Structure formats: C-alpha cells, structure tokens
Amino acid sequence: MDSRRRDWMLSIVVPVMNEEAAIERFLEAVDRALGDVVPRLEILFVDDGSTDETLVRLRQRVSLDPRVRVISLTRNFGKEAAMTAGLDHARGDAVVPMDVDLQDPPEVILEFIRLWQDGGYDMIYGIRGSRDEDTQAKRTSAGLFYRFFNRLAETHIPSNAGDFRLLDRRVVEAIKRLPERNRFMKGLFSWPGYRSIGVYYDRPARASGASKFNFWKLWNFAIDGLVSFSTWPLRIWMYFGAVIAGLAFLYILLLVGRVIVVGNDVPGYASLMTAVLFFGGMQLLSVGILGEYVGRLFIETKQRPLYLVAEDSLVAEDRLVAKERVADEESGGAEGRKRDGDGSIATAPDAS
C-alpha cells in the first residue's frame, strides 16, 4: 500500500484543554519512544478553548520543534469536535489520536506501527488490559455500557477500547465523510469497518493534571453514543405499548364481565391513582426519549460547523514564508533595476 512506503508520515492528534502542566512531559515521552523510529512525525495539538497558559506553551514549542503543530479553536467545542478537527487537518499517512496525560503510553504506538506495516491492518486500537487507576464504580459502569451498547447498536465497538489507536489514511478519509454533528468517536471509528485488530496494554495513572470528565458528562456521553447508533430506545416503547394495550384490553373484559355478573361497584381511589400515575410516568418517559431523537434531528438540520479554527501554526508559517519570499523577490527586483539604471548611465557612447 502506498501509505506504507519508507518515507511515510505519522500524525499524532492530541486534543488539549487547560493542560499546561502536561505538554512538556508528553513531548519528552513521545520523543523517547518515537524520535528515531518514525521517518516523519507530526504532533498536532488541538487547543479546545484553553483558559490557562496551554496555548502560549504550545506556541513556544512550535518555534522550537518543527514537528509540533498547533490548531487553536475559537472556543471550547468539546473533545469529540476537537478530535474531529485534528483528523481533518492531520497530514500523516497514519494518524494516532491520543490524550496528553500519558495514560496512553507512546511506546504502544510502536506495536501499532508494526501491525500496520507488517500485518496490513488498517486500524489498530488499544485495549485497556487493566484500569487500576479507575474506581470500581467507573470500571463497572464502563463494562455495563459496552455490553449494553453492543447488544442494542448495529455498530460494534470493542470493550475497554478508547480513542487511542492507529488509523490508516483511508480510514481517516472515510471518517471525514461522516457529517453528523453529534459525534461519538468510538462508534465513528468502528463504523467504516476495514481490517482491524486490538492491542492490550496496561493503563497507568495520569502523569499530571486531572480528568475533565465527571459522572454527569460521562452519562451524557453514553446517551449520545447510544442514541447516535441505535433506534432501540424508540422501538422498545412500541413493544412496551403493545404489551400495556393488551393487558388493558384484558382488564376491560374483566371489568365488563364483573359488572354483568355481580353488578356495578365503586372503584377504589388508590388503585385509580396508581394506574394514572404509572401510565402518566410512562408517557412522560417515552416522550423524553422521543425528544432526544427530535433534538438531535434539530441540531443536524441546522448544519452548523463542528468547530471554528482561530489559528493554525502551519498556515501561519506558510504565510510567513510566502511573505518573506515576496519581500526577497521585490528587493531583488529593485536591486536589478538599480543595476540596470547604473549600467545604462555608465555605458560608453558608440565609437562609430
């Protein structure tokens, strides 16, 4: 495959937000692991609206290391949008999305590369063999989510696999063709298919900083993933409604038969309120699930961009080089015109 030639480029896409303390340590770890292995390396940081000194430090690294590239978004669009921006702008023949906290060890990328080049795989994803740094509640909820998602959704995502993976260029191009605004990247990575394999690794604790995800964000993230790749939450209420309608019809027959046999009696207040509250709650729940899908349809129809780029260090560098080239050409042309003028004055008259 052409993307696996000798002079190939690897792009590492790193979304960051308020990670000023982790940048230097991350770059040192990447340099130790990949500095002499990869022919050409691009480390693409996507600053997702940081409010600390993250962007300042990244700009400093750009001036010191030509492998480092920075894309700054106009505000915080979320990690999924930032990762999408990185995939859209990455130039490598292979692309590795990863976090800056070093919970995804750069040394694992060497195994990714080996399977990509020698094994012919188009996507190699990391599987967290141990999650000792996570709480028991987080590990349990994550396991339940993967099982529940894979049971309901048509797109299968590997259990305990995050965003850390190697993507061949053609996989990246396939993902760039997926236009949805509600991004669940784990599902989008798996949707194109292609030849894939997992690599187990032990996930260490964060080298610095703290996670930006709390329980509420993870809950909403799980809902986004399930709603984006499955219609079962809608379909299940059709079955539930059919069962309730059948039971209600049987209950009506029971009541009619009772009136015919023993006559009419006064129904109890408790049973009436129980039925009203139960069915009212079920209706509100079903309307809420329907609203999740309608809300996403509303967002998709507006066709707003996923992100806006405020700064791209590569574009800024290209503009600077172009400006210097134009200035050199103008100065060279001015010197040439001056020499021509001086020469015409100093030219000796024709002897004839």
Compare 284 and 54 and report the one with higher pLDDT: 54
pLDDT, position 160:
76
Cα 297 to Cα 121, 181, 286, 301, 351, distances in angstroms: 35, 10, 17, 6, 88
Whole-number pLDDT of residue 316: 64
At 351 the pLDDT is 41
pLDDT digits (tens, 9 = 90+) for 134-163: 566 666 666 676 676 667 666 777 777 788
Any idea which of 17-31, 53-67, 124-138 has the lowest mean pLDDT? 124-138
Q: Residue 300 — pLDDT band, cuts 50, 70, 90?
A: confident
**Dist. CA 333–CA 22, nearest whole Å:** 48
- Look at the pTM and tell me if it is higher than 0.85: no
* Run of H or E residues at 41: strand 40-47
Q: Looking at 145-159, 204-218, 271-285, which range is the least confident one?
A: 204-218
Terminal C-alpha separation, the chain: 72
Tell which wins on pLDDT, 241 or 68.
Answer: 68
Q: Residues 277, 280, 285, 288: what is their CA dihedral angle, to the nearest 10 degrees? A: -140
Q: What are the backbone dihedrals phi and psi of residue 158, each rounded to the nearest 5 degrees, phi first?
A: -65, 140
Instruction: Kindly state the tokens that stand for 36.
Output: 């002499």
Buried b (16+ CB within 10 A) or exposed e, 227-254: bbbbeebeeebeeeeeeeeeeeeeeeee
What is residue 1's predicted lDDT score, i.e. its pLDDT? 44
Sheet holding 68-73, edge to edge: 196-202, 123-130, 161-168, 94-97, 9-16, 40-47, 68-73, 309-312
pLDDT digits (tens, 9 = 90+) for 90-132: 998 999 999 888 888 888 999 999 899 888 889 898 888 765 5
Instruction: Note the pLDDT of residue 346.
Output: 40
The tens digit of pLDDT for each residue in 174-210 reads 988 888 877 778 778 888 888 888 888 887 766 555 5
Percent of the chain with pLDDT over 70: 61
Q: How confident is the model at residue 304 (pLDDT cuts 50, 70, 90)?
A: confident
Return the closest-CA partner of residue 107 out of 204, 185, 18: 204
Q: What is the pLDDT of residues 229-243, one digit of tens each?
A: 666 676 676 677 767
Highest mean pLDDT among 33-42, 106-115, 307-316: 106-115
Q: Is the pLDDT of residue 8 over 50?
A: yes
In angstroms, rounded to a whole number, what is the distance separating the alpha carbons of residues 323 and 92?
Answer: 26
Q: What is the mean pLDDT of residues 260-266?
A: 64
- Residue with more model confidence, 70 or 253: 70
Lowest mean pLDDT: which of 45-54, 166-175, 244-253? 244-253
User: DSSP letter at 101?
Assistant: T
Torsion angles phi and psi, residue 104, rounded to 5: -105, 100
Annotate 241-256 with DSSP letters as a single string.
Answer: HHHHHHHHHHHHHHHH
The answer to whether the CB of 84 falls within 8 A of the CB of 188 is: no
Decide which of 220 and 60 is more confident: 60
Among 18-27, 34-43, 49-58, 254-263, the least confident range: 254-263
Computed over every residue of the chain, the mean pLDDT equals 75
- Rounded CA-CA distance 42/44 in Å is 6
